[in-house]
């Protein structure tokens, strides 16, 4: 089914439509409709990225192609969605499957509500069969507080499958008497813009342009303010526990901020920076437990999959313990993030960034240097450090060595993403990031398994006293063994991925690019 | 993957098409993408949906997968409800199927590209036992069998139940056999007696809901619409709704 929306200078009327179409078709006036449509997508517009949109109307949720209006899947859903919705909350079926594949654990948020008054006509053929639907739509955006903002009226034409030619004929007939053009902005986008919602969704990607000769302090401030915007944007969702990605993106933005603080330390006044670094570290720690437990629960089924099938069910008490701990950690985290210390941190940090260029530069040796020079020096330095650290690691190295290398790898990745990409040829920097990512995946897998083993051991007492706790303990024992095997496998993969990362070509490339 | 439901009976005039059209309408109204394939060359379902009973290239080309099935589908007047129309050439569908090496798999192959697009596919079958019906048995998840509560009509269901037993459908994962009483006149003692007797036979899976002999069902031919669309509060409409709920409940128990 194709949907076309036309907009003209004059207010369209259904009588004029009937007159124009009546020249060729029999027209039947359908009942007037009043309907509310609620458009939904994830915070980062994952559906939009696939040209999809989820619409609630007429007591159904309908997944549609955003460009053509074709319905892909639908599900009866009587209530108007006012709260975030997870794919897992939908009844099993095609809609849930399609959404789950794309949004995974992200929540669908009600983005905007459009109230539509429509007068519709049915275009009939000689058998009195409906071959197209045409209507005048008078839409308005309804805010959460009930305020209404009128949008432009439009003529909407729907094709009926197998009768596409009739839609084109209808359109041609309308064009003869009513000067209208296809709307450049869809009703959805117009409604989103009217409600102040960015149509493309929120992105946690930092895309700050900069020139190599620019003062390092200016470039650093722009990047850090963009990161602060990501922190601010994700905080409400993290507090409300809308979905796990809000907290994840919040923490990544904090980690990136800390990385810039550390790597570009020379652009900040030392005393202020030391205070802020301590505070950001505190913030990272305050959110760590909640995130770890999110990761545990999100990966629980795949962890369970490591066990022989007959004992997978024995692990259920562990899930309950994790859920309980997660709730406690979330409550504690929300208290902390709403607290005075977190709010002061945010305002102090912003104040420092806003006024940085007015501070004396005597104790800020990198402030006035070109960002190209400062960032390149740091990238070379961190890369070199990683080569040393990685070169000293072998099969018998303690887990802490792998962990330290991974942390350093994150540092390099953020430098490359935040400064390497905008300052250098992306075609050169992206493959470097890819090679680094390959190494980080192996290190991350190793680290995750090590942490999981420690965590499982720490939970043993709590699981033991639960109903069916002893069976769960035995299953946890088997799981610890599997996780250790997995960690050992990751260790054996390390040499290969580190070799790719530290190859002569890579070293040359880093030297050449960031000289 | 879609659930394929076939309205089937060896006998004609028992309410197969009415059931297919009304149940498909209710499925679509519930928000499910639904297709009716009118396999009967008489094209009654096609007529009810006001669609021209014509398939480009005829049944043979369709079976040979020469014509992409998606191009032959017609939208009905109802959202989410589409039709694969009948064609008079379907009267030779048996002969056309005979030409294939695995004739009973043919309908499944035709439907394969649609199995992800539709949640429910209704096959409105012609009354017979033939290669077409064998293909339907092979394709469908459930056979919905309307039974008029009269001695002769109920015998045809007995024959079908025997066929199911012989084919070992239960064990081999063939279609579920779901019968329901159709064209019931509760004022007639014969209908009451036959219904009571058949409900006693445990081996028959008879659905609780029954479709009455009602003016609204007969008026479908005049209105060219499903009962629930032009007489939503009528006893017949409510019976189809009850039947649809009953079918969904049973399908929830076992899906192929």
Once rounded to an integer, what is the mean pLDDT over residues A77-86? 92
Please name the residue of chain A whose CA is at the shortest distance from the CA of residue B26: A76
Nearest chain A residue to B72, by CA? A162
The H or E element that residue A487 is part of is: helix A469-501
pLDDT at B197: 83
Distances, alpha carbon A164 to alpha carbons A64, A171, B35, B145, in Å:
18, 11, 18, 36
The reported pLDDT for the residue numbered A58 is: 85
Backbone phi, psi, residue A57, to 5°? -160, 150
Average pLDDT over residues A463-473: 87
**Across the interface, do B33 and A129 touch by the CB < 8 Å criterion?**
no
Per the rule left: phi > 0, alpha: psi between -120 and 50, beta: everything else, B212 is: beta
Q: Do B75 and A163 touch (CB under 8 A)?
A: yes
Query: Residues with Cβ < 8 Å from B242, sequence gap 6 or more?
Result: B208, B209
Q: Tell me, what's the pLDDT at B256?
A: 30
Name the one residue in this structure whose structure tokens are 């498909």: B24
User: Which of A59, A93, A161 lies nearest to residue B74, judging by beta carbons?
Assistant: A161
Of B31, B73, B82, the CB nearest to A75: B31
Pick the residue of B2, B30, B31 with the most A CBs within 10 A to test the interface with A by mutation: B31
Structural domain of B101: 3-253
- Which helix H or strand E contains A142, and what residues bound it? strand A130-142
The count of structural domains within chain B is 1
Residues B73, A161: C-beta atoms closer than 8 Å: yes
B73/A163 Cβ within 8 A: no
Express as a percent the part of chain A with pLDDT over 90: 70
Q: If pLDDT is split at 50, 70 and 90, which confidence band does A182 have? A: confident
A353 close to A499: Cβ distance less than 8 angstroms: no
Using a CB-CB distance cutoff of 8 angstroms, which residues of chain B are in contact with residue A161?
73-75, 82
Asked if the Cβ–Cβ distance from A161 to B80 is below 8 Å, we say no
Structural domains of chain A in order of their starting residue, each with its CATH number = 3-182 (2.40.320), 213-303+319-359 (1.40.20.10), 370-515 (1.40.20.10)
Q: What is the mean pLDDT of residues A347-362?
A: 95
Kindly state whether B30 is in contact with chain A, defined as any CB-CB distance less than 8 angstroms. yes
Tell if the CB–CB gap between B32 and A130 is shorter than 8 Å: no
- Phi/psi for A78 (5° steps) reads -65, -35
How many angstroms from the chain centroid is the CA of residue A455? 28
Give the dihedral sign, CA A406/A408/A409/A410. Answer: positive
A127 Cβ contact partners less than 8 Å away, ≥ 6 residues apart: B50, B51, B52
Probe site for chain B from A162, A163, A164 (most B CB atoms < 10 A): A162
Q: Could you read off the pLDDT of A90-102 as tens digits, one per residue?
A: 988 889 999 999 9
The larger pLDDT score, comparing residue A10 to residue B81, is at B81
- Prediction ipTM score: 0.85
CA distance B26 to B228: 8
Which token pair is B201?
């036979």
pLDDT, mean over chain A: 92
| Euclidean distance between CA atoms A353 and A357, whole angstroms | 8
A112 and A192 Cβ atoms separated by less than 8 Å: yes
> How close is the nearest chain B Cα to the Cα of A55, in Å?
13
Predicted TM-score of the model (pTM):
0.79
Give the separation between CA B210 and CA B219, rounded to whole angstroms: 18
Residues A263-318: pLDDT tens digits? 999 999 999 999 999 999 999 999 999 999 999 999 899 889 999 998 999 999 99
Looking at the complex, does the CB of residue B47 fall below 8 Å from at least one CB of chain A?
Answer: no
Residue in chain B nearest A132 by alpha carbon:
B77
pLDDT of B202: 60
CB of B33 within 8 Å of a chain A CB? The answer is yes
Question: Residue B241 sits in a domain of what CATH number?
Answer: 3.40.50.300
Would an 8 Å CB–CB cutoff place A101 in contact with chain B?
A: no
> pLDDT at position A19, please?
92
Local mean pLDDT, 10-residue blocks, chain B (256 residues): 91 92 94 92 94 87 87 93 92 85 88 90 91 90 90 75 77 81 89 84 75 92 94 93 92 51
Residue A258: pLDDT band (50, 70, 90) is very high
Cα B183 to Cα B221: distance, rounded to the nearest angstrom: 16
Q: Is the pLDDT of residue A319 over 70?
A: yes
> For residues A7 and A164, is the Cβ–Cβ distance under 8 A?
no
- pLDDT attached to residue B171: 61
Cα(A385)–Cα(A387) distance, integer angstroms: 5
Distance set, CA A353 to CA A65, A218, A225, A273, A307 (Å): 43, 9, 7, 11, 50
C-alpha span between B109 and B102 (Å, rounded): 11
Q: What is the 3-state secondary structure (H, E, C) of chain B?
A: CCEEEEECCCCCCCCHHHHHHHHHHHHHHCCCCEEEEECCCCCHHHHHCCCCCCCCCHHHHHHCCCCCHHHHCEECCCCCEEEECCCHHHHHHHHHHHCCCCHHHHHHHHHHHHCCCCCEEEEECCCCCCHHHHHHHHHCCEEEEEECCCHHHHHHHHHHHHHHHHHCHHHHCCCEEEEEECCECCCCHHHHHHHHHHHHCCCCCECCCCCECCHHHHHHHHHCCCHHHHCCCCHHHHHHHHHHHHHHHHHHHCCC
Of A59, A71, A162, the CB nearest to B80: A71
């Amino acid at each position: 089914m194709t949907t076309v929306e036309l907009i003209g200078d004059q207010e369209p009327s259904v009588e004029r439509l009937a007159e124009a179409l009546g020249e060729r078709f029999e027209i039947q006036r359908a009942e007037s409709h009043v309907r509310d449509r609620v458009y939904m997508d994830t915070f980062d517009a994952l559906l939009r990225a696939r040209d999809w949109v989820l619409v609630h109307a007429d007591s159904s949720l309908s997944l549609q192609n955003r460009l053509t209006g074709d319905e892909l899947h639908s599900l009866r859903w009587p209530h108007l969605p006012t709260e975030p919705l997870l794919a897992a909350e939908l009844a099993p079926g095609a809609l849930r499957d399609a959404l789950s594949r794309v949004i995974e654990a992200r929540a669908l948020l009600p983005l905007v509500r459009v109230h539509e008054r429509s007068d519709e006509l049915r275009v009939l053929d000689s058998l009195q069969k409906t071959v197209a639907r045409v209507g005048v739509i008078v839409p308005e955006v309804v805010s959460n507080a009930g305020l209404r903002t009128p949008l432009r009226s439009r003529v909407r034409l729907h094709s009926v499958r197998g009768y596409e030619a009739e839609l084109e004929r209808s359109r041609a007939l309308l064009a003869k008497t009513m000067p209208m053009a296809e709307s450049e902005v869809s009703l959805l986008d117009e409604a989103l813009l009217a409600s102040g919602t960015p149509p493309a969704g929120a992105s946690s990607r930092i895309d700050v342009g900069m020139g190599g000769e620019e003062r390092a302090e200016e470039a650093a401030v722009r990047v850090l303010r963009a990161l602060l915007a990501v922190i601010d944007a994700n905080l409400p969702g993290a507090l409300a526990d809308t979905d796990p990605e809000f907290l994840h993106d919040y923490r990544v933005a904090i980690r990136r901020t800390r990385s810039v603080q550390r790597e570009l330390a020379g652009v900040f006044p030392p005393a202020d920076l030391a205070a802020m670094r301590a505070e950001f570290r505190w913030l990272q720690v305050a959110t760590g437990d909640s995130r770890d437990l999110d990761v545990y629960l999100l990966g629980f089924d795949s962890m369970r999959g490591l066990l022989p099938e007959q004992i997978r069910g024995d692990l259920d008490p562990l899930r309950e313990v994790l859920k309980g701990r997660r709730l406690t950690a979330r409550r504690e985290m929300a208290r902390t993030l709403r607290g005075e210390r977190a709010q002061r941190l945010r305002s102090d940090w912003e104040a420092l960034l806003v006024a940085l260029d007015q501070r004396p530069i005597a104790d800020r040796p990198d402030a006035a240097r070109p960002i190209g020079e400062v960032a390149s020096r740091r990238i070379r330095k961190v890369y070199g450090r990683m080569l040393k650290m990685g070169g000293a690691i072998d099969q018998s190295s303690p887990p802490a060595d792998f962990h330290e290398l991974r942390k350093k790898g994150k540092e390099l990745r953020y430098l490359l993403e935040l400064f390497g990409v905008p300052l250098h040829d992306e075609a050169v920097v992206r493959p470097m990031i890819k090679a680094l990512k390959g190494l980080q995946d192996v290190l991350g897998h190793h680290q995750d398994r090590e942490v999981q083993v420690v965590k499982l051991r720490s939970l043993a007492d709590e699981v033991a006293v639960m109903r069916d706790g002893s069976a769960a303990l035995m299953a946890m024992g088997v799981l610890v063994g599997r996780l250790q095997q997995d960690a050992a496998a990751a260790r054996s993969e390390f040499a290969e991925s580190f070799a790719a990362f530290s190859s002569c070509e890579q070293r040359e490339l880093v030297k050449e690019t960031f000289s | 993957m879609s659930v394929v439901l076939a309205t089937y009976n060896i006998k004609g005039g028992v309410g197969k098409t009415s059931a297919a059209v009304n149940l498909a309408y209710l499925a679509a109204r519930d928000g499910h993408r639904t297709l009716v394939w009118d396999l009967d060359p008489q094209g009654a379902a096609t007529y009810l949906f006001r669609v021209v009973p014509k398939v480009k290239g005829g049944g043979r080309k369709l079976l040979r997968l020469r014509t992409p099935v998606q191009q032959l589908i017609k939208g009905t007047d109802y959202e989410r409800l589409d039709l694969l129309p009948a064609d008079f050439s379907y009267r030779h569908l048996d002969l056309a199927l005979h030409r294939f090496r695995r004739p009973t798999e043919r309908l499944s192959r035709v439907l394969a590209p649609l199995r992800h697009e539709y949640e429910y596919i209704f096959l409105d079958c012609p009354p017979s036992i033939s290669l077409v019906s064998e293909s339907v048995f092979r394709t469908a998840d459930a056979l919905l069998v309307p039974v008029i509560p009269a001695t002769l009509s109920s015998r045809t269901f007995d024959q079908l139940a025997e066929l199911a037993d012989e084919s070992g459908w239960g064990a081999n994962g063939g279609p579920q056999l779901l019968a329901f009483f159709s064209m019931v006149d509760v004022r007639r003692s014969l209908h009451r007696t036959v219904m009571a007797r058949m409900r006693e036979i445990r081996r028959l899976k008879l659905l609780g809901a029954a479709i009455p002999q009602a003016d609204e069902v007969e008026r479908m031919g005049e209105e060219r619409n499903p009962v629930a669309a032009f007489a939503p509060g009528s006893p017949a409409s409510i019976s189809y709704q009850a039947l649809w709920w009953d079918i969904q409940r049973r399908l929830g128990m076992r899906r192929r």
